[in-house]
Amino acid sequence: MKAARATYGLPPGTWRAPHLSSGSVEALKWLGLALMVVDHTNKYLYHGHVPWMFDVGRVVMPIFGIVLAWNLARGDEATAWRAVRRMLIFAALASPAFMGMQQGRWWPLNILFTLATSAAVIALLQRGRKGLMLALVLAVLAGVLVEFWWLAIGATVAAWYWWREPSWRSALAWMVCIALLMPVNGNAWAFAALPIVLIASRLDFALPRLRWIFYAAYPIHLFILWSMQWMKL
């Protein structure tokens, strides 16, 4: 493994963004996926009664948000809209199982809808002032409907700003969004995503890029858990 860091052409003395290699991004996604399965197993099969499984599950959303922000920060508006389309497709595919395990309740919409909304907001922000108002309206309206509400959207957008041009403002915005999740989560474990990502930025994992498996894994694991839930009834 080897360390890597990017300066992004910033003058000496300014903030520098850590660099995530392709392998490190894949490692973060695998970690997020594993922790998500642990969290959902606890939620849907054990009714949230296993404390350690609940705690590590709080790290999942921030990790996926940071990774999404990293990928979108390296692309353009078209890149963001492609990500939106993919996530909406798999969010819809996951919805029957997601709602089935919640006794038919559709609200809030699953986390892929949250990430898709974040990507759409980022796409609109790349239009400059022309897209700013649309981005705000979308964030406000969609934030009512999705998991982790406006806080997840705000944290992902703040991370995107930070990956593009590191500053104390974007870092503070991310911190505030995650801090405001503490009453919802009941703990501060979401902050653990930050050191995890920083450690990943210092390492270069030899992992191949598997784009579609992470999209497909979301509905697949929910349908498996839904089936297991039915077998326990």
Which residue matches tokens 């002032």? 129
User: Which of 195, 161, 166 is closest to 8 using CA atoms?
Assistant: 166
The pLDDT of residue 213 is 93
Please state, in angstroms and rounded to a whole number, the distance separating the CA atoms of residues 116 and 80: 9
Burial class (CB in 10 A: 0-12, 13-18, 19+), 78: exposed
Please state, in angstroms and rounded to a whole number, the distance separating the CA atoms of residues 188 and 180: 10
CB 152 within 8 A of CB 116: no
Exposed e or buried b per residue across 131-159, where buried means at least 16 C-beta atoms within 10 angstroms of its C-beta: beeebeebbeebbeebbbbbbbbbbbbbb
CB 28 within 8 A of CB 20: yes
The pLDDT of residue 147 is 96
| pLDDT tens for each residue of the chain, 233 residues long | 333 334 333 444 456 778 899 999 999 999 999 999 999 999 999 999 999 999 999 999 999 999 999 999 999 999 999 999 999 999 999 999 999 999 889 999 999 999 999 999 999 999 999 999 999 999 999 999 999 999 999 999 999 999 999 999 999 999 999 999 999 999 999 999 999 999 999 998 989 888 889 999 999 999 999 999 988 76
The pLDDT of residue 81 is 98
The pLDDT of residue 14 is 53
The pLDDT of residue 133 is 97
Please state, in angstroms and rounded to a whole number, the distance separating the CA atoms of residues 221 and 145: 22
Cα–Cα distances (Å) from 33 to 15, 100, 214, in that order, read 30, 21, 8
- C-alpha atoms less than 13 angstroms from C-alpha of 192 in its C-beta half-sphere: 14
Its pTM stands at 0.91
Please state, in angstroms and rounded to a whole number, the distance separating the CA atoms of residues 18 and 70: 10
The pLDDT of residue 149 is 97
Burial class (CB in 10 A: 0-12, 13-18, 19+), 120: buried
Tokens of 109: 């919409």
The pLDDT of residue 210 is 85
**Residues 88, 182, 174, CA angle at the centre, nearest 5°?**
60
The pLDDT of residue 232 is 76
Tokens of 96: 């029957």
Tokens of 156: 């992902």
Helices 60-73 and 111-125: crossing angle in degrees, nearest 10, is: 30
Tokens of 15: 């903030």
Helices 149-164 and 60-73: crossing angle in degrees, nearest 10, is: 40
